[in-house]
Chain A
Amino acid sequence: MSILVIAEHDNSSLKPATLNSVTAAQAIGGDIDILVIGSDCQGAAEQAAQVAGISKVLVADNAAYGHQLAENVAPLIAEVGAAYSHLLATATTTAKNILPRAAALLDVQAISEISAVVSADTFKRPIYAGNVIATVQSTDAIKVLTVRGTAFDAAPADGGSAAIEAVASAHNAGKSEFKGEEVAKSDRPELTAAKIVVSGGRGMGNGDNFSMIYSIADKLGAGVGASRAAVDAGFVPNDMQVGQTGKIVAPDLYVAVGISGAIQHLAGMKDSKVIVAINKDEEAPIFSVADYGLVADLFTALPELDTAL
């Protein structure tokens, strides 16, 4: 078995999401290489070489790869990946955009968001918004898999010293162009990597009231999330959405404030170790998954909690 993990990175550094795929690769078993595709991405490649248990790091460094455009990156993954038995990437929006395209170029039926490795060709994955877990077996010669990050622990980021090899191949389809991005700048930990997450829902009433959540989150060193209802109502930006169609999180502590607990939202956080729900409606479905439920008006409970911390 030879496994290629596609790195998630921002060119200068490797993102922790990559480490979850490395653990999934170890569960499959075999030689593991990491492919870093980017522009001026030597920094990310050097960090990838430090990851424990990696045989080698392949680096495709080209201006055309700078913004991870699928039309340019997918042909490279298909080209390099053809020599491997498994291609893996953690299911971020980048990987979800690129990997199916690479799979189609290889004429492979990809398997999305695996949550467990049963054997080298058999995997578990959630379907129907996590209401059912399917066990599926691939008959393709190459397995192309995205990995649900919360289902696999992060592999150690250091301890390795893999050789770094350059991949010369350049693909520039010239079909799409990066025009810009609005990246939310925050000192708080990234949602999917945070040990504690505090999320607000429609019950927050408006965006300004989220300041109560931010204050508590900062005292706990927590990331801040939101339900789809809060995002749709325009209280907070979309990248904060926790749920089946937003981010999937599994922190040590998840605090849901003013969130009723729609299936859509539960699918994104129910694997958290400890769940706290604060809601004034004692019938809210969120209480059925909460370890600690507090039936209270959040406008009195949050200031009290802030003071108590």
Chain B
Amino acid sequence: MKVLVAVKRVVDYNVKVRPKSDGSDVDLANVKMSINPFCEIAVEEAVRLAEKGIATEVVAVSVGTKQCQEQLRTALALGADRAILVETDESLEPLAIAKCLKAVCDEESPDLILMGKQAIDGDNNQTGQMLSALLGCSQATFASELSVDDGKAVVIREVDGGLQTLELSLPAIVTSDLRLNEPRYASLPNIMKAKRKPLDVKTPDDLGVAIAPRVTLLGVELPAERQAGIKVEDVAMLVDKLKNEAKVI
């Protein structure tokens, strides 16, 4: 079974981003970039399927600038077999990314596509669902458990009320939630080995995909700051303040 796993290059989760001084966009100059944490979980799940002998090949795919090769090398170091970069300098929206991934899927015909449930930059939570629509295949978002057997994927999903179990016929798209697994660290020998694994580069034009943006970013701003309040001495004072000052209990 062939598994395709999508990875996105994003601002590292430890970085607190700020708007540019003119408020046109967030300031990403000289900021540390990493693989999106949810994508890392998806890569880990793909590699575990390979280690169990269920996946025969794991292909990592990214859509973005030339620098995305760094994140693809990370995926290769974690255990993916080869990588594909759809290279473009254009700013990309989920629908455009889904269309590029659709074109790659048409060429690669994977049985299972693993992705993160959302990227921590745009917080869109859309690309997996959109790719699934374009491919006309089944989907399970917010996965916390995945098993694949006999041409079917059984997925436990984290939903608002608790947990939901779905059975999907393959090919299927599964997007990872936080608790799907805990990703491993790449070992130094594997990082060295990853440098020699194949990495193909294509462009949206090669794939015949139009990626023009549909949404215009008019500006960004900081959210309203919350002021710190007061420290109370003890529980009695806290209860008094809540009853008589804030009047919330």
Q: A residues bordering B, Cβ < 8 Å? A: 67, 69-71, 74, 92-94, 96-105, 107-113, 122, 126-140, 173-184, 192, 196, 220, 228, 231-232, 237-239, 244-245, 247, 252-253, 263, 270, 273-276, 282, 287-296, 301, 304-305, 308-309
Contact = CB atoms under 8 A, between A and B. Distances in A.
Contacts of B208: none
Counting chain B CB atoms within 10 Å of each CB, the highest count among A103, A104, A136 belongs to A104
17 contacts: A93-B142, A100-B127, A101-B139, A104-B131, A109-B96, A135-B220, A135-B221, A177-B168, A228-B178, A253-B248, A274-B242, A276-B238, A288-B228, A291-B229, A294-B231, A304-B234, A309-B249
B133 interface: yes
Interface string B177-216: 1110000000000000000000000000000000001111
Given A101-B133, A181-B161, A133 B141 contact: no
A97 B129 contact: yes
A182 B95 CA distance: 32
Nearest to B246: A274
B124 interface: yes
Given A101-B139, A176-B166, A179-B166, A133 B220 contact: yes
B125 interface: yes
A138 B214 contact: yes
B95 A177 contact: no
Contact of A133 (B93, B215, B223): B223
Contacts of B157: 93
A253 B129 contact: no
B17 interface: yes
Interface of B: 11, 16-19, 26, 93-96, 98, 118, 120-127, 129-134, 136-142, 144, 154, 157-169, 172, 177-179, 213-223, 226, 228-232, 234-236, 238-239, 241-242, 246, 248-249
Given A287-B228, A294-B235, A304-B235, A97 B142 contact: yes
Given A253-B242, A276-B242, A289-B228, A105 B166 contact: no
A131 B11 CA distance: 13
| A-B residue pairs, 7 tightest by C-beta | A291-B229, A100-B126, A104-B133, A104-B130, A109-B214, A100-B129, A175-B138
Contact of B141 (A97, A111, A113, A263): A97
B163 A176 contact: no
A291 B246 contact: yes
A308 B169 contact: no
Nearest to A67: B164
A128 B141 contact: no
Nearest to A105: B133
A92 B160 contact: yes
Contacts of A220: 249
A181 to B, nearest CB: 5
A252 B231 contact: no
Q: What's the dominant secondary structure at chain B's contact region? A: mixed
A96 B239 contact: no
A274 B163 CA distance: 31
Contacts of A71: 132, 138-139
Contacts of A112: 123-126
Nearest to B159: A93
A127 B122 contact: yes
B248 A132 contact: no
Given A101-B139, A127-B121, A252-B248, A177 B167 contact: yes
A96 B246 CA distance: 35
B215 A101 contact: no
B137 A175 contact: yes
B210 to A, nearest CB: 10
B246 A253 contact: yes
A96 B125 contact: yes
Counting chain B CB atoms within 10 Å of each CB, the highest count among A108, A177, A231, A282 belongs to A177
A291 B195 CA distance: 52
A306 to B, nearest CB: 9
A126 B231 contact: no
Contacts of A174: 169
Nearest to B182: A232
Nearest to B161: A183
Contacts of A137: 215-216, 218
